[in-house]
């Protein structure tokens, strides 16, 4: 995803970090060239995020067991999108560190952009209630006050999430990169990897595995913060330090193992849990998928042509932060449309509306800071 300004697009080496939070990708062979495969994968991944948020396979239309399996597979694949962003972000951040950039100033440079976007969109969502019922029954002012009161009553949400649920990604990425930068500055890279594994395991036993025999129950959502993001960033960071690459076929096999393994976890873990898991965004196989897709992109950097990868390069962050503007207001249409066509048109409509708004904001000099 893109958190850069137009000046920083001039050089790949100047814009390498945060591939998932930036627009500039990297080629394994030559500086200054684009990796259109990773750009294309960004585009696919942001559509996966929209799939999860729009739930295109609802029980009122897809009622059978086979339909429910389709729902599980589609949303499960969509949940691997944000982990991909984390892994690729870690890779490009690691590339810049390994090329000699001081870790703390580099982190500060990109964290400033991420936090700026996080703050601005948090305020936008807090001041713009999206549930139409709130507007009709409370009025705009009362609805806004209610949202601020909710945030004040849950201070951890202010730190880890922000003004809207999906903005957690930005803060989680900042926290993971902060850990990476501090450990690198202290020359404690092994500590970084060990801490990343420990945080991820804690996140799993309090998330997908919370209601199993190994589970823990914590008073907060371990999807947020540094718990799950740090290991995924560490995976990309580790890959950046190894010049030897595997071929595209082994990379695809690795990604397939991650995808199938995660789908299996989503399907089977609830059967061994006393209750449905509170958090189903991450599993043991999630990092495997992210690393596999990254390695495939590095092995085949030319896939995807020019047009669609360009959208993935320059507009993904904007689509991510603004797409929820179009999700919640459109939910009332579900009461009127009961068809397979609508179920799958809904995410497409949200995607193109978010893309259009992002392009509009990016074209205006004074509004560009909202999406770059």
Position 24 pLDDT exceeds 50:
no
Neighbours of 66 (CB within 10 A): 9
If you average pLDDT over residues 179-188, what whole number do you get? 96
Alpha-carbon dihedral angle through residues 63, 346, 162, 151, given to the nearest 10 degrees: -60
Q: What is the pTM of this model?
A: 0.86
φ and ψ at residue 68, rounded to 5 degrees:
-65, -35
Position 188 pLDDT exceeds 60:
yes
Tens digit of each residue's pLDDT (9 = 90 or more) over 57-111? 655 555 565 566 666 667 677 889 999 999 999 999 999 999 999 999 999 999 9
Q: What is the pLDDT of residue 18?
A: 39
If you average pLDDT over residues 40-48, what whole number do you get? 92
pLDDT band at 30 (very low <50, low <70, confident <90, very high): very low
Structure tokens at 339: 């068809």
Q: How far apart are CA 194 and CA 358, in angstroms?
A: 38
If you average pLDDT over residues 112-136, what whole number do you get? 86
User: Regarding predicted confidence, which is higher, 186 or 63?
Assistant: 186
* Residues 78/52, Cβ–Cβ less than 8 Å: yes
Tens digit of each residue's pLDDT (9 = 90 or more) over 225-253? 999 999 999 999 999 988 778 899 999 99
Q: What is the pLDDT of residue 58?
A: 59
Q: Which has the closest alpha carbon to 311: 7, 10, 25?
A: 25
pLDDT band at 133 (very low <50, low <70, confident <90, very high): low
Position 362 pLDDT exceeds 50:
yes
Position 189 pLDDT exceeds 60:
yes
Position 178 pLDDT exceeds 50:
yes
Tens digit of each residue's pLDDT (9 = 90 or more) over 282-326? 999 999 999 999 999 999 888 766 777 778 778 999 999 999 999
Position 4 pLDDT exceeds 60:
no
Position 5 pLDDT exceeds 50:
no
Q: How far out from the chain centre does Cα 39 lie?
A: 14
If you average pLDDT over residues 14-28, what whole number do you get? 39
If you average pLDDT over residues 153-180, what whole number do you get? 92
- Crossing angle between the packed helical segments 226-240 and 286-299, to the nearest 10 degrees: 30
What is the rounded average pLDDT for all residues in the chain?
83
Q: Any residues with CB less than 8 A from the CB of 242 and at least 6 apart, and which?
A: none
Q: What is the pLDDT of residue 69?
A: 63
Q: Any residues with CB less than 8 A from the CB of 317 and at least 6 apart, and which?
A: 1, 2, 3, 21, 22, 23, 117, 371, 372
* Residue 367: strand, helix, or coil: coil
Position 355 pLDDT exceeds 60:
yes
If you average pLDDT over residues 339-363, what whole number do you get? 90
Q: How far apart are CA 136 and CA 139, in angstroms?
A: 6
DSSP 8-state symbol, 19: T
């Amino acid at each position: 995803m893109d958190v850069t300004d137009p000046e920083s697009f001039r050089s790949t080496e100047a814009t390498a970090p945060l591939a998932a939070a930036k627009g500039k990708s990297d080629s394994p062979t030559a500086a200054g060239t684009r990796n259109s495969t990773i750009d294309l994968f960004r585009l696919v991944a942001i559509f996966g995020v929209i799939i999860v948020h729009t739930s295109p396979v609802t029980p009122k239309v897809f009622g059978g067991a086979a339909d429910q399996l389709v729902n599980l597979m589609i949303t499960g694949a969509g949940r691997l999108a944000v982990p991909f962003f984390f892994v690729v972000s870690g890779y490009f951040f690691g590339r810049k560190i390994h090329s000699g950039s001081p870790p703390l100033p580099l982190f500060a440079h990109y964290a400033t952009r991420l936090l700026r976007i996080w703050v601005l969109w948090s305020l936008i969502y807090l001041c713009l209630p999206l549930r139409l019922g709130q507007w009709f029954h409370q009025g705009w002012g009362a609805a806004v006050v209610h949202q601020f009161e909710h945030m004040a009553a849950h201070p951890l949400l202010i730190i880890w999430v922000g003004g809207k649920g999906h903005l957690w990604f930005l803060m989680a990425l900042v926290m993971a990169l902060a850990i990476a930068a501090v450990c690198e500055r202290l020359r404690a890279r092994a500590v970084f990897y060990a801490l990343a594994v420990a945080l991820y395991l804690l996140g799993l036993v309090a998330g997908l595995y919370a209601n199993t025999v190994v589970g823990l129950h914590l008073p907060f959502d371990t999807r947020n913060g540094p718990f799950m993001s740090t290991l995924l960033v560490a995976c990309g960071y580790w890959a950046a330090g190894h010049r030897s690459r595997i071929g595209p076929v082994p990379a695809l096999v690795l990604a397939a193992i991650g995808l199938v393994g995660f789908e299996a976890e989503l399907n089977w873990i609830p059967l061994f849990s006393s209750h449905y898991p509170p958090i189903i965004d991450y599993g043991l196989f999630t990092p495997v998928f992210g690393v596999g897709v990254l390695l495939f992109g590095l092995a085949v950097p030319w896939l995807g042509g020019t047009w669609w990868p360009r959208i993935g390069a320059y507009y993904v962050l904007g689509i991510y932060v603004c797409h929820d503007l179009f999700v919640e207001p459109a939910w009332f249409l579900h009461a009127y449309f009961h068809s397979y066509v609508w179920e799958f048109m809904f995410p497409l409509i949200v995607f193109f509306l978010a893309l259009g708004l992002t392009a509009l904001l990016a074209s205006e000099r004074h509004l560009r800071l909202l999406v770059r």
